[in-house]
Amino acid sequence: MKPELIYLDNNATTRVAPEVLEEMLPFLRDSYGNPSSMYSFGGRLQKDLELARERVADLLNCSPVEVVFTSCGTESDNFAIRGLVDAYPEKGHVITTKVEHPAVKNLGPYLRKKGLRVTEIGVDRRGNLDLEELKAAIDGDTLLISVIYANNETGVLSPVQEICEIARERGIFVHTDAVQGVGKVPLDLARLPVDLLSFSGHKFHAPKGVGGLFVRRGLKIRPFLIGGHQERSRRGGTENLASIVGMGKAAGLARSRLPMEESMVRPLRDKLEQGILSSIPHTEVNGDPERRVPNTSNVGIHFVEGEALLLAMDKHGICASTGSACASGSLQPSHVLRAMGVPFTSIHGSVRFSLSTYTTEKEIDAVLEAMPGIVNRLRDLSPFHSMEDVQAFGA
Ligand code: PLP
C-alpha cells in the first residue's frame, strides 16, 4: 500500500489553497478576455486585476501602484537588480551575500561581465550576516545592496532593517528577495524602507508562474521585460489574470493566517526539530535557532548521504529536500551551508523540512516515528560511520 503523502517541502512550492482555485476558475472558463481591451468583455476585468493588486498591497502594507506583477520570483529578482543597474549606469558596484538564492547569486557573473564589481558578504556559523563586513565593502561607487530576506535553505532572517539604515545614510538602494518571507512573517513596507522587494505566489498557496516586485514609489528602474504598456509600462506582456487573481486571494488568506504561523506552524516545526535531535545522535540544526521563519528546519544528520535519506523518506511518503549535491541539480553541496562553515559530514546529510499551515501534528508524529529507523539503516551502510568518525565529531 502506498503511504500517505506527508508534504514537508513548502519552501520548494506549496499546494494551491482550495479558496484560491475557486477564485481563479471563472477566469479560466468564461472571463478569458484581455484586461487591456476596449470592449467591456475584456476591459471590465481591469477591476479584478486591480483588486488583486490591492490585496497584495494590503499584505505588504504598501500602495497598490507600487506592486508590479511578474511571472515568478526569479523574474522579480532579475527585474530588480538588472533594472536598477541599467537605470544607473554611472554606478558600478553591487553588494550581495554568499547565501542568496541562485536567482540573485547567478546574476553575479552576468553583472561582472557587464563591467560591474560584485561583493558577496559572508555569514557566521549560524547563517547571520556580518554587518561590519557589509559596511567595509561600501564605497562611493556602490549602487545597490541586495539581500535575501529569509533564507530558503535555513530559514534564517537577514537584518534587513539595519541594512536599510546603513544604506540610507550612504544613498544606496536596497533590494530584498522576500520570496521565503512573504506569508510567513509580517512584512510592513511602511516601516521597512527597502526600495525593491521580490515575492512569488507559489510559495504562499497561489499557483506557480506568478509573482511580483514591490517598486517604491518614485524609484527609477528600467523595465526588464520590454514590450507593451501593461503594468504602467514597467512590465510588458498580457497579464496572467487567473493566476494574478489567485495570488490576490492567496495574499488575503496569508494575511488572515499569519498568526497561525506563530501559534501553529512554529510549535510543530519545533516539535519536529526537538524530536529529531533527541532521538537521533549526531544531529544539529543549521541556522540561527531564534532568527528564523517559523516553518523551516534545516537539520544536519552526520554520516548519511542526503540523497539516500530523501529516497528512504520517500518510501514513507515524506517529501523534504536536501542541501547536498544532486537534489539541487548541481555537483556542489549547498553554497549556503558551505558559507556557514557547516562540516562536510553534516552538509552531505542535511535535510530541509519546511512546513505550512496545512501541516498536521499527526504528520509530524509519523515523521518522528520513521526517522530514527531510516537514519540507523543508512548509517549501518555508511563508510563514514565508523567509531573513529564518531570520536572525531566529539561524541
Ligand atoms: N528566491 C528565493 C529565496 C526562493 O526560495 C526562490 C524559489 O525557491 C526564488 C527566489 C525563485 O522563485 P521562483 O521559483 O518563483 O522563480
State the average pLDDT for the chain. Answer: 94
| Pairwise CA distance, residues 263 & 61, whole Å | 22
**Sequence-separated (6 or more) residues with CB below 8 Å from residue 65:** 217, 232
Q: Is 134 in the pocket of ligand 1 (CB under 6 A)?
A: no
pTM for the structure as a whole: 0.96
User: Hey, is 8 helix, strand or coil?
Assistant: coil
- 32 alpha carbon to ligand 1 midpoint, in Å? 28
**Does the pLDDT value for residue 395 go beyond 80?**
no
| Residue where the block lists cell 554606478 | 91
What's the angle, vertex CA 17, arms to CA 12 and CA 21, rounded to 5? 115
| Pairwise CA distance, residues 391 & 201, whole Å | 46
pLDDT at 221: 98
| 9-41 tens-digit pLDDT | 999 999 999 999 999 999 999 999 999 999 999
Measured torsion, CA atoms of residues 254, 258, 262, 265, in degrees rounded to the nearest 10? -20
Q: Is 73 in the pocket of ligand 1 (CB under 6 A)?
A: yes
Of ligand 1's atoms, which has the minimum distance to the CA of residue 71? 15
| 194-244 tens-digit pLDDT | 999 999 999 999 999 999 999 999 999 999 999 999 999 999 999 999 999
What is the grid cell recorded at 313? 523518506
What is the grid cell recorded at 182? 512573504
| Catalytically active residues, by annotation | 326
Kindly list the distances between the CA atom of residue 122 and the CA atoms of 113, 137, 147, 231, in Å, as whole numbers in the listed order: 22, 11, 11, 36
Ligand 1, atom 13: closest residue by C-alpha: 73
- 244 alpha carbon to ligand 1 midpoint, in Å? 17
Of ligand 1's atoms, which has the minimum distance to the CA of residue 149? 3
Q: Of 218, 243, 222, which is closest to residue 234 (Cα–Cα)? A: 222
- 300 alpha carbon to ligand 1 midpoint, in Å? 22
| 112-147 tens-digit pLDDT | 999 999 999 999 999 999 999 999 999 999 999 999
Alpha helices in 195-240 (DSSP H): 230-233
- 5 alpha carbon to ligand 1 midpoint, in Å? 23
pLDDT confidence bin for 55, thresholds 50/70/90: very high
